Each structure stands twice: as structure tokens, then as C-alpha cells.
Amino acid sequence: MGYLNGLVLAVLLAITPASAGEHILPVVALNIVASDGAVWNSEAYVTNPGDTTITVYVGSLIEGGRSATPLCLPIVQPFLQVPPFSTRLWSSAELAFGVGCPEWAWGALTLWSDDPAVISSRMVNTGVREVPSNTLLEGFGQEIDAIPTEQIPRAGERLILPAVAWHPNACGAKAFDTNVFFVNPGDDTIDVEISPEPDSPHDIVIDGILVPAPHHFPVPARSLRVLRVAGADPQITVCLEPTVGAFSVVATGPMVVIGSAVDRSTQDARTIVPIRRTP
């Protein structure tokens, strides 16, 4: 879980004040232990901007991984009711119950609202492994916002990932890494193309391996992939400082894309917000 070592600060594309229907939280963590010993848990917040009570339901977990423990069986589909003009906490314990009470799990979470709602979350380094609580989580954390499915970028729409950070020709530990999350909520495999923008390096490094650009990879139906993305190291031996560049992404189907540039000295992260490219 190296990509969860830091605060994966994620802001989604084209967030609007409110929407009814399906929403996707692209990254949730439940008792995930990272390689540095950090323990990550998520909680959600549901805001009702209207004048009537709304109901929001847990849909399903688009799995990145989960424990093999037997699932619990809720008698009814987990839901949360939110009074007018108010916000309610959806605790880590309640989210875990909604996806079958795993000992640990992470992935993208679908949620349904019967009326317009604003849904956000916080992924928190709780410090020690623990059963998720019904109270607010304490510790360093990050905000992750949900996106209504009707606002997900569509097939063929080109996105720009600005200010992707990496550390070329590092002498010792790398100072920065960038991870990009690709969530396919649909029922068909999607092909994704990623390539550097013209003023960025012409080669690309995916998970530490130099590959030709543009680079294509599949994201199967109802799944997510996480890639560590960088430009190629210059063919020189001197130590270089961290750098930035821009990459473009285009997919053959609706795709949620978010990115995180992680400062490895602190495990803090900077949000990379994909931009819809205009002609």
C-alpha cells in the first residue's frame, strides 16, 4: 500500500453544489496499514442543502483490496437520513458495516441519494490499528469529495493532469512521487491513454518502468487502478532537484481520475485536479 503512505489529498472533477442519484467517493480506507506503519480510516459527511429530509444509501465498494473475513449481513441496506439544511457524519464504523464489515478494505465507494446532496469525506491517519469508531476520527487527514456520476468525464474527453511532481536522478531517497487513481464505475473494460504534454518530457515512467508514450492500459469493469507516474530521468549522472510536468489522459469510457503528489519527507500530499481540456 505504498500509494497510501501519505495523505492522498484528492479533489474530484467538476464538483457541483448538489445532485441526486449515484455519487462516487474515489478513495476510502478502512483499517488500511501502510508500509510506514500509518493506519488509515475514512469517514463521510452528507450535507442536505434542501428543505426536506433526504436519504442516502451505501451502494457498493469498487475494491482495491479487502480482507478475506466472512461478510456480515445487514438486515436492511445501510442508509443515512439528513434533515433539511444540515450535515450528518457517516462514521467509519457505519461505512465498514455498509460494505460487509471487513477487517480491512480500501477502494472506491458508490453512494445513492434520493434528493440533491453534497457528499465529502476525510481519510485519517488514526495512528494505531483499531476498530473504526462511531465518533469523529482524530489524526492527520485529507478531504476527498464525491462526484455525481453524471459529471464524470465521458469517453474521448481529454483531461490534463497539471503539476505532476517527481524526482529525477535522485541521489538517495526520492523527495516526491505522484500517484494517479483511475476508477471505472461501469460494466465494460475501459482503455486509458496517458502521455506527457508537449512541454513536458517525451518519455514516461509508470510504476518505476520506462514505457513508450502514449502509454495504454486497461481498467476492468467496476474496478480501480493506481499508477505511480513520472517523467523519464535525463541521461546524465548528476543529482537533480524535484521537477514538475503535465500529462494528458483520455479514456474510452466514463472514468474518475484523481491524482496526488506526495512529499516523501513528510508524507504530506498536494492535490492534482484533472482539468477538462478545451479545444
pLDDT digits (tens, 9 = 90+) for 65-79: 999 877 787 766 789
Domain boundaries, the chain: 2-151, 159-276
Mean pLDDT, residues 22-50: 89
Average pLDDT, the chain: 84
Distance CA 82, CA 73 (A): 24
Centroid of chain to Cα 217: 18
Q: What's the pLDDT at 130?
A: 62
Chain segment 129-163, per-residue pLDDT in tens: 665 667 888 877 778 889 899 899 999 999 999 99
pTM: 0.84
**Is 4's pLDDT higher than 50?**
no
Mean pLDDT, residues 170-192: 92
Q: What's the pLDDT at 15?
A: 38
DSSP H or E segment with residue 81: strand 79-82
Cα dihedral 95, 101, 107, 108 sign: negative
Taking the domain 159-276, which CATH number applies? 2.60.290.11
Q: What's the pLDDT at 132?
A: 62
**Is 190's pLDDT higher than 80?**
yes
Q: Which triple of cell numbers denotes residue 132? A: 473504526
- With H, G, I as helix, E, B as strand and everything else as coil, classify residue 203: coil
Q: What percent of the chain has pLDDT over 70?
A: 87
